[in-house]
Every structure is written in structure tokens, then in C-alpha cells.
């Protein structure tokens, strides 16, 4: 099924998104919500990996909703970003999706952790090159035993890998950390490795034999 532009209503205002529904023949397995950094956009890091990932996931039975943050300022507004992702979760639930994974980069990494801590629909959370500003240890701990995947570039000078290491240190059961040597903040130098990690993790969080959505 073709990707469609959608507008998600929220109490804070409309949110632009791109929806890649799962191919019916593949059998619906759930959906992934993807968000970028404070500057928003639909493409994500690693040379626009979100678009390619969304197409591949749809063919495998996993829908993908790429959200563009309403407010794009630096530093990113934590409460506004969290509200956007929670609105995306509510939108997917209204489409009949009951099992979701969240994927966020940089500022978006902190946002998906906060949103996951507030929603029972989230089966797993992945933070790429995450910031830690705005994340409370209790929020990270509350994700357990749901899977938490942390991926960071070893050469990230903007947000050093010790930030993901801190999140890992306070997380509980289900945590996983990968430091990709030679990768900077965008992770573009290790795109293929990032792809493999993400697809494998999503297959485990939203398995084909899991609850239908």
C-alpha cells in the first residue's frame, strides 16, 4: 500500500506525518513511530534511513508512522515533543494498531523514552544518539521489561556516547547498547550496521507470530 501524508490532530495543534501501512498480504504485526531531532523532518539520521526503513517494514507487515515535530527549536521542547509522539500513538490506536515500537534520534531519543513510559501500547523503544536532557531515571526504569535498544556513534562529538551509556546504566531488564565505532552523530558512516540492528530488533519486538493489530 502506498505511503500517505496525514495530519494528526492534538490539543496542542496539528501534527504532520507520513503513514506507511503494512502490506495486507504480509499480515499486520504492529507499527513503528519514527521521529528525528529537534529540527524535525521525516527522514531521520544515516542519510534518511527512516524512509527506506518504513518501506521495508511495510512489506514485512509492520506499519510505519513518520512524525514531524510541531515545534522546531533548539533545545527541543521536551513536553511538546512528548505530546506529539503520544498523539501519534493515539492515532495508530484509532487505526486498530495495538502493538507499537518507538524509534527516535538525538532529541527524539529522549522523546520516545518519555512517551514509552506513558503508554501501554509501546512494546519496545529505540533511541539513536540520544540526548539525556529531559529524561528522568524513573522513566527509563519504568520501561522494563520492555525492550530498550540504544545505539550511539563512537565518534559522536555533538552528543557523546556516554549519554547512551548513562541511559543503559539506569535501565532495567530488556536493555541493549551498541556503540558503533567511527560513526558520528548521524550514524551515516555505519548505515548498513545500523540497518541490520534496527530490522533485527523490530523483528523481535513486533514478531510475525505476535498479537495481531
Q: Tens of pLDDT along 45-89?
A: 999 999 999 999 999 999 999 999 999 999 899 999 999 999 999
Confidence class for position 213, pLDDT limits 50, 70, 90: very low
Question: Is the model's pTM score more than 0.85?
Answer: yes
Query: What's the pLDDT tens digit per position in 106-120?
Result: 999 999 999 999 999
Joined together, the cell numbers standing for residue 7 give: 495530519
Is 90 among the domain residues? Answer: yes
**Structural domain of residue 84, as residue ranges?**
4-205
- Is residue 11 in some structural domain? yes
How many domains does the chain divide into? 1
Question: At 45, which CATH number?
Answer: 3.40.50.1820
180 pLDDT above the threshold of 90: yes
Residue 210 lies in a domain: no
Average pLDDT, the chain: 95
Q: Answer yes or no: is 212 within a domain.
A: no
- Has residue 211 been placed in a domain? no
Asked if residue 213 is part of any domain, the answer here is no
pLDDT at 209 over 70: no
Cα–Cα distance for residue pair 127/111, rounded to 1 Å: 9
Q: Judge whether 17 lies within some domain.
A: yes
Amino acid at each position: 500500500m502506498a505511503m500517505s501524508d496525514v495530519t494528526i490532530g492534538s490539543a496542542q495543534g496539528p501534527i504532520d506525518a507520513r503513514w506507511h501501512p503494512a502490506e495486507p498480504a504480509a499480515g499486520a504485526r504492529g507499527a513503528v513511530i519514527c521521529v528525528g531531532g529537534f529540527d524535525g523532518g521525516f527522514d531521520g539520521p544515516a542519510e534518511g534511513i527512516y524512509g527506506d526503513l518504513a518501506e521495508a517494514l511495510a512489506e514485512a507487515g509492520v506499519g510505519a508512522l513518520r512524525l514531524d515535530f510541531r515545534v522546531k527549536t533548539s533545545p527541543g521542547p521536551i513536553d511538546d515533543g512528548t505530546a506529539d509522539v503520544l498523539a501519534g500513538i493515539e492515532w495508530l490506536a484509532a487505526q486498530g494498531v495495538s502493538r507499537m515500537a518507538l524509534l527516535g534520534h538525538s532529541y527524539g531519543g529522549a522523546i520516545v523514552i518519555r512517551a514509552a513510559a506513558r503508554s501501554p501500547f509501546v512494546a519496545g523503544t529505540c533511541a539513536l544518539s540520544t540526548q539525556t536532557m529531559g529524561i528522568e531515571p524513573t522513566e527509563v526504569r519504568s520501561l522494563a521489561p520492555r525492550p530498550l535498544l540504544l545505539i550511539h556513534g563512537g565518534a559522536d562529538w555533538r552528543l557523546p556516547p556516554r549519554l547512551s551509556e548513562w541511559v543503559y546504566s539506569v535501565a532495567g531488564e530488556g536493555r541493549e547498547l551498541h556503540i558503533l565505532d567511527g560513526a558520528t552523530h548521524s550514524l551515516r558512516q555505519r548505515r548498513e550496521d545500523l540497518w541490520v540492528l534496527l530490522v533485527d530488533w523490530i523483528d523481535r519486538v513486533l514478531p510475525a507470530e505476535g498479537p495481531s493489530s
